[in-house]
Chain A
């Protein structure tokens, strides 16, 4: 729980290396959204999640639901860092029979609590986990990571309304606002206007942060956990850069769902400090 900002940054760097390796090895996958979310996920897992990596099904664990389940390399890399799976397992990403399925899947991978892959579903599932915790008088929380593109799914707003109606203070959302979706920039595909105002108007506690500034991320997580914000659901809107950490992927819609070639891979390893130039 007491990791320093520098330690968290180093952990995230190692995860970034694994993300790029996974996608390069598979020659498929989603590096952009994995790199945009990874600082957030790293801080969450390393400093907040009440979990037992050796007992992944511990009933009172906090749940982490990656609704944007295509950004699975990010989640697999942190699961390996935390000890839920081995680093060797990361080689099974998108490989027949491998535990690291293309989209995170609770039936395949230890530490995964939601079978994702279809956008707009994770918030509802997280709400169910939060209701279950309440019914059992458990203090476990459900953390849900949403992508910004998936807010275009109507079911997200069904869940947003229902979670506020039921005052689910144990439901915590982190929005990876990386501004790019599959085909193009969100602004081109479907403008979403004032996102914080939308969530506020649905009855949520809202805070905005820079999703790559580790100190701000920790403050944001404090906000999600703060007693005064446990009267209902809360959302942390994290402004991020798609592809963050690899120059040619940054803000580049082409790397939403594409793998680097060998030359690009080598460049990424240099930029991430894994090999010398």
Chain B
């Protein structure tokens, strides 16, 4: 039976698993209960810094800590990380200080809180910053493993996690197969390749099953790292399938689709269909309702795959 979990729980678990490293410090902005850093706070209050509802301050407190040799993990809602974008830019990315920022509740899948809480641009904005690693994992297992790897990177990062539960994909996966910068092939087919991130990875697997019933064989890739992008894998997918689809719960401007498109135009051409939020804001609704409203659920990914296929 499929286990369901939220990626934010994987983040919370990773912080606990990292606690043995005395240099790991957790920063909160009054949303630890939501981002799941609260478990670390309970176990290690002396290494948890409450910054109140003050994201700009939080990020630069992190920068000061990182400059002194600590490994700060700061979290808030994805939408509120954007409020501190310039702090991330000037205070963290520019001096290349390894502050790890996690934005939970990313995307329209966040649901009933409505459009003010549904970040659809976080991946785009942080992807523009030199030095910054950008991650959007698909399940709690990979979130935990990737978060733990961040502690070893010596580079700043932004990771988006999700509020709501989705199917767990990697309970039986060899952990060494989950690495920052390496896409993961979940299904192998030679007609079309679907490259997805976050909550749309499981939707893409559903789409691939739909396509299979129609005799279309899709490769499905979990591209949990948007930056640095796994260009080698994209080239292999183009050679194998000749047509690509990207799928993300994010504006089609600037996210995973844009990253793949940028790679294609500079390296190897192939038709690309981008499934994502069509440059509009969301509204209150259940997670599954939002994916349908935004036309990014499995059914829409399958349709996009057929369009991509027809353009070969």
Contacts and interface: CB of A to CB of B under 8 A. Distances in A.
Interface string A115-130: 1011011001111111
Contacts of A159: 54, 57, 60-61
Nearest to A120: B56
A18 interface: no
Given A115-B90, A162-B61, A128 B68 contact: yes
A158 B64 contact: no
A44 interface: no
B182 to A, nearest CB: 29
Contacts of B95: 105-107, 115
A198 interface: no
Contacts of A125: 60-61, 63-64, 67, 91
Interface string A132-161: 110110000010000000000011001101
Between A59, A120, A121, A129, the greatest number of chain B beta carbons within 10 A of the residue's beta carbon is seen for A121
A176 interface: no
A135 B72 CA distance: 13
B61 A155 contact: no
A43 interface: no
B263 interface: no
Nearest to A132: B68
Interface residues on A, range: 20 to 34
B65 to A, nearest CB: 4
Contact of B91 (A107, A115, A161): A115
A250 to B, nearest CB: 31
Contacts of A107: 94-96
A62 interface: no
Given A107-B94, A135-B70, 4 more contacts: A59-B68, A105-B95, A124-B59, A133-B68
Interface of B: 25, 46-47, 49-52, 54, 56-70, 72, 86-87, 90-91, 94-96
25 contacts: A107-B94, A107-B95, A115-B94, A118-B90, A121-B60, A124-B58, A124-B59, A124-B91, A125-B64, A127-B57, A127-B61, A128-B60, A128-B62, A128-B64, A128-B66, A130-B64, A131-B49, A132-B70, A133-B68, A154-B56, A155-B57, A155-B60, A158-B54, A159-B61, A166-B49
6 closest Cβ contacts across the A-B interface? A128-B64, A124-B60, A132-B68, A158-B54, A158-B57, A128-B61
